[in-house]
Amino acid sequence: MAGYGHPYVIHAAGLAQAAQAQQQQAEPVRLAHEQQQQQQHYQQQPQQIRPNSPPHHLQAQDALAQAAQLELGQNPNALAIRRPFDPTAHDLEANFRLTRFADLKGRGCKVPQEVLLKLLEGLQDDQGQEEHSTHFMHVPIPRIGIGMDASITPLRHSGLSLVQTTDFFYPLVEDPYMQGKIACANVLSDLYAMGVTECDNMLMLLAVSTKMTEKERDVVIPLIMRGFKDCALEAGTTVTGGQTVMNPWCTIGGVATTICQPNEFIIPDSAVVGDVLVLTKPLGTQVALNAHQWLDQPERWNRIKLVVSEEDVRKAYQRAMDSMARLNRTASRLMHKYNAHAATDVTGFGLLGHAQALARSQKAEVGFVIHNLPVIAKMAAVGKACGNMFQLQQGNSAETSGGLLICLPREQAAAYCKDIQKVEGYQAWIIGIVEKGNRTARIIDKPRVIEVPAKEKDGELW
Q: Say if CB 155 and CB 259 are below 8 A apart.
A: yes
Looking at mean pLDDT, say which of 18-22, 371-375, 383-387 comes out highest.
Answer: 371-375
Q: Which of 265, 243, 264 is nearest to 255 (CA)?
A: 243
Q: Say if CB 214 and CB 139 are below 8 A apart.
A: no
pTM above 0.85, yes or no: no
Quickly count: other Cβ atoms within 10 Å of residue 427's Cβ: 21
Q: Say if CB 125 and CB 132 are below 8 A apart.
A: yes
Phi, psi of 235 (to 5 degrees): -85, 0
Half-sphere exposure at residue 235, Cβ-oriented, CA atoms within 13 angstroms: 36
Q: Which of 378, 281, 272, 386 is nearest to 324 (CA)?
A: 281
- Whole-number pLDDT of residue 222: 97
Q: Which amino acid is at 75?
A: N
Q: Is the link from the previous residue into 54 a cis peptide, with omega within 30 of 0?
A: no
DSSP-derived 3-state class of residue 130: helix
- Quick check: 13 pLDDT over 50? no
List, in order, residues 6 or more apart from 263 with CB less than 8 Å away. Answer: none
Mean pLDDT of 202-221: 97
Task: Name the maximum alpha-carbon separation found in the chain.
Answer: 66
Q: Which of 138, 136, 203 is nearest to 164 (CA)?
A: 203
Q: Could you tell me which residue, 320 or 105, shows the higher pLDDT?
A: 320
Helix, strand, coil fractions of the chain, as percent rounded to 5: 40, 20, 40
- Whole-number pLDDT of residue 27: 58
322: left (phi over 0), alpha (psi -120 to 50) or beta: alpha
Which helix (H) or strand (E) segment holds residue 368: the answer is strand 366-376
- Whole-number pLDDT of residue 315: 95
Question: How large is the angle between the packed helices 214-234 and 176-193, nearest 10 degrees?
Answer: 40
Q: Tens digits of per-residue pLDDT, 249-277?
A: 999 999 999 999 999 999 999 999 999 99
DSSP-derived 3-state class of residue 12: coil
Q: Which of 206, 229, 227 is nearest to 217 (CA)?
A: 206
Residue 374: strand pairing partners: 450
Q: Which amino acid is at 253?
A: G
- Whole-number pLDDT of residue 32: 63
DSSP-derived 3-state class of residue 341: coil
Q: CA 86 to CA 93: how far, in whole Å?
A: 10
- Whole-number pLDDT of residue 26: 54
Quickly count: other Cβ atoms within 10 Å of residue 16's Cβ: 14
- Whole-number pLDDT of residue 270: 97
- Whole-number pLDDT of residue 133: 52
- Quick check: 143 pLDDT over 70? no
pLDDT bin (cut points 50, 70, 90) of residue 122 is confident
Half-sphere exposure at residue 79, Cβ-oriented, CA atoms within 13 angstroms: 7
Q: Catalytic residues, which ones?
A: 109
Q: CA 266 to CA 196: how far, in whole Å?
A: 8
List, in order, residues 6 or more apart from 41 with CB less than 8 Å away. Answer: none
- Quick check: 406 pLDDT over 80? yes
Q: Which of 238, 230, 179 is nearest to 207 (CA)?
A: 179
Q: Tens digits of per-residue pLDDT, 56-91?
A: 444 334 444 444 443 333 444 444 566 789 999 999
